[in-house]
């Protein structure tokens, strides 16, 4: 029977109309006037308000009733009693109804008393005026309370709202729960508050149960309240990252985050509009590295800035941040036509006052790059263009060398030739003790720009281009990264594939990575390799488990996790520093400078000449062998190039024997 009533209510158009939107103001006004008319009828009937022959028409009770209605309607308009949403506003409305009834009664009493000199008695009995006022106020408030009660009951009639528990016992948590509960056409129905504070003794707050959290009672609490969703304020996100979120996810509790009350209590915004699902990026974050934006803005304001790889994940965010620093002109260099077009549209929309130059070209094409430098004369260069996919570069080492090494060399040489002030290169943690072609190619690029800086410094008495390198871990949500891959696999129903159960990686956000690039561009004085505190590494298998749970699914049941084996050149963990390297502190305690071996520029050029020859010949074996000679710590893992390590070792042994 209960189920049938709930089904009827769910399908009723009248009920859904009532639940989805407040009634128009004129409906509330008409209802209030009917209440006043009914009060007049009851008063005149039981108090025997008879016709007064000395007043003509004004002496008839119906005419008196009309005058009462006109006075009341006037003060209803002045006090806006019909403008409040009845289901939400009992207390606020009460004040206005009291003011309206009191004012109407006073005016009617003054009118009646004012006619005594003319009539010799009152126009209308003062007692009747008082009774009409009391009855009207009482019935109006009962009507409002009744509507609110019916609304609450319909909310609880198993309609379409999702039952949720709100985390927290603060005023904000309670205010948010109340706002959700009373929201017209709302999506969520808070059934309890969950507190982490064991010192709170209350069992409920304004009829909303207050529950105490413990690891052992999570299942019991959510089963008792027939709920599978927890909402928490954004202010607790930092706390959720410490492991609390994982405790709820382990029990298959969905997590939703909401903004503070002040964030949605403006311009009539709905509280449910501030609710969003939790992304894996929210839980992998840590304290954001604070950059000195004032220093960066002072440096870049009014300058011509070139950004290579501008249409990529990192490049486009650098473009956005540089535009925010009010650079005079931004030269966007990339060879990807469609992403560049999208970037242009974004810039025209967000930064119409910034002059941008779209320059389509491959950084490996030295002549094309020189055209860009000759035409725009950039003062600051941020070099983000690179091939970054490990397995792809393992199969195509010549392309890794042409773009990552010689593309960087082209730009670095042009920066010196055209007297750029600073050149900031984006590297990777895979350049430390590289196990793959991609990481080794980035390490060679690091070696070249660093040796070029010190060579230029020794060869010139004046100012030289300052070359600075920044090493990053994995960037959350970047093109081709693991998180978008897992997200697609989950949407497709699985399986989610991980290469190894124990593989770990460092992560940071795209804005944070780009902020570090800009900070390095102002902090560096040339020759530095900047690294920074990336917090604790994340196990990729645990990442997959979290993402499945955040999707409301069960790992291993709804979505399988499958190990596929390490890919060519892939290692279980990444490093930010070579074992033989140490670091020096900077004024930002999250950013450090790696102390690395300084290569002789002439020696580097000799190696690059041989590397160019092998690349032009397409001899993959010779390319990789020369890379290993330049970067002795480059030892291939799970790769066809591992055999070269043994060849080089044997050659070195033979040299020692010959000596």
Catalytic residue numbers, as ranges? 430
- Which of 475, 401, 476 has its CA nearest to residue 440? 401
Q: 117 exposed, middle or buried (CB, 10 Å; 0-12, 13-18, 19+)?
A: exposed
Please report, in angstroms and rounded to a whole number, the separation of the first and last CA atoms in the chain.
98
Q: Looking at the DSSP assignment, which residues form a beta bridge with residue 471?
A: 427
CB atoms closer than 10 angstroms to residue 611: 23
> Rounded to whole angstroms, what are the CA distances from 368 to 333, 375, 398?
11, 11, 20
Q: Structure tokens of 113?
A: 């008393």
Q: Structure tokens of 490?
A: 């989950």
Are residues 408 and 428 in contact, defined by beta-carbon separation less than 8 angstroms?
no
Number of H helices, E strands in the chain: 27, 22
Q: Is 377 left (phi over 0), alpha (psi -120 to 50) or beta?
A: left
User: What CA–CA distance (Å, rounded) separates 390 from 52?
Assistant: 101
Q: Structure tokens of 591?
A: 């950013």
The upper half-sphere exposure of residue 475, i.e. CA atoms within 13 Å in the direction of its Cβ, equals 22
Beta pairing class for 204-205 and 208-212: antiparallel
- Which of 164, 200, 130 has its CA nearest to residue 275? 164
Strands (E) in 62-178, as ranges, are: 162-167
User: What CA–CA distance (Å, rounded) separates 42 from 63?
Assistant: 15
User: What CA–CA distance (Å, rounded) separates 136 from 100?
Assistant: 10
Long-range contacts made by residues 180-185, C-beta under 8 angstroms, separation at least 24?
180/271, 180/272, 181/152, 181/155, 181/208, 182/87, 182/88, 183/270, 183/271, 183/272, 184/19, 184/20, 184/21, 184/22, 184/85, 184/87, 184/88, 185/19, 185/20, 185/21
| Torsions phi, psi for 534 (to 5 deg) | -100, 10
Q: What is the DSSP letter of 278?
A: P
């Amino acid at each position: 029977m209960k189920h049938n009533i709930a089904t009827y209510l769910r399908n009723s158009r009248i009920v859904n109309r009532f639940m989805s939107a407040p009634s128009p103001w004129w409906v509330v006004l008409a209802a209030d006037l009917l209440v006043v008319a009914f009060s007049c009828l009851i008063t005149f009937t039981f108090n025997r308000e008879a016709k007064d022959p000395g007043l003509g028409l004004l002496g008839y009770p119906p005419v008196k009733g009309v005058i009462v209605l006109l006075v009341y309607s006037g003060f209803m308009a002045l006090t806006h009693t019909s403008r409040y949403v009845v289901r939400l506003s009992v207390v606020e409305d009460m004040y206005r109804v009291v003011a309206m009834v009191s004012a109407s009664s006073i005016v009617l009493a003054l009118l009646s008393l004012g006619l005594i000199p003319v009539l010799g008695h009152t126009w209308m009995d003062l007692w009747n005026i008082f009774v009409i006022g009391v009855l009207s106020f009482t019935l109006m408030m009962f009507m409002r309370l009744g509507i609110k009660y019916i609304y609450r009951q319909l909310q609880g009639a198993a309609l379409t709202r999702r039952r949720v528990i709100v985390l927290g016992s603060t005023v904000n948590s309670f205010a948010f729960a109340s706002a959700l509960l009373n929201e017209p056409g709302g999506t969520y129905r808070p059934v309890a508050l969950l507190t982490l504070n064991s010192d709170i003794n209350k069992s409920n707050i304004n009829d909303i149960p207050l529950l105490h959290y413990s690891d052992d009672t999570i299942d019991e609490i959510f089963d008792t309240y027939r709920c599978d969703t927890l909402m928490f304020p954004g202010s607790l996100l930092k706390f959720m990252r410490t492991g609390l979120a994982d405790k709820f996810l382990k029990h298959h509790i969905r997590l939703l985050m909401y903004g503070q009350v002040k964030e949605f209590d403006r311009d009539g915004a709905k509280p449910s509009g501030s609710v969003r699902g939790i992304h894996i990026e929210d839980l992998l974050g840590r304290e954001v590295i604070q950059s000195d934006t004032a220093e960066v803005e002072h440096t870049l304001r009014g300058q011509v800035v070139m950004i290579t790889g501008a249409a990529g994940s990192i490049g486009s965010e650098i473009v956005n941040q540089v535009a925010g620093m009010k650079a005079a002109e931004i030269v966007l260099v990339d060879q990807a036509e469609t992403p560049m077009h999208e970037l242009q549209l974004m810039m025209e929309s967000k930064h119409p006052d910034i002059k941008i130059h779209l320059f389509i070209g491959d950084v490996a094409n030295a002549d094309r790059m020189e055209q860009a430098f000759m035409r725009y004369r950039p003062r600051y260069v941020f070099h983000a263009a690179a091939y970054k996919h490990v397995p792809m570069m393992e199969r195509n080492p010549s392309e890794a060398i042409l773009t990552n090494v010689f593309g960087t060399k082209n730009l670095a040489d042009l920066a010196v030739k055209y007297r750029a002030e600073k050149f900031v290169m984006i590297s990777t943690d895979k350049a430390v003790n590289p196990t793959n072609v991609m990481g080794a190619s980035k390490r060679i690029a690091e070696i070249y720009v660093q040796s070029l800086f010190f060579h230029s410094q020794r060869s010139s008495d004046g100012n030289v281009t300052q070359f600075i390198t920044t090493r990053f871990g994995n960037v959350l949500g970047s093109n081709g990264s693991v998180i978008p891959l897992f997200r697609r696999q989950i949407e497709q129903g699985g399986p989610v594939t991980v290469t190894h159960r124990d593989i770990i990686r460092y992560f940071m956000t795209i804005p944070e990575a780009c902020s570090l690039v800009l900070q390095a561009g102002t902090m560096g004085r040339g020759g530095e390799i900047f690294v920074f505190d990336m917090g604790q590494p994340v196990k990729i298998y645990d990442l997959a488990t979290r993402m499945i749970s955040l999707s409301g699914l069960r790992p291993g049941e709804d979505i399988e996790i499958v190990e596929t084996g390490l890919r060519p050149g892939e290692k279980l963990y990444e490093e930010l520093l070579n074992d033989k390297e140490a670091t020096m502190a900077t004024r930002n305690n999250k950013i450090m400078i790696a102390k690395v071996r300084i290569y002789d520029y002439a020696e580097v050029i000799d190696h690059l000449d041989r590397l160019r020859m092998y690349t032009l010949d397409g001899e993959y074996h010779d390319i990789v062998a020369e890379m290993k000679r330049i970067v002795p710590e480059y030892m291939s893992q799970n790769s066809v190039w591992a055999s070269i390590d043994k060849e080089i070792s044997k050659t070195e042994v033979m040299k020692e024997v010959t000596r």
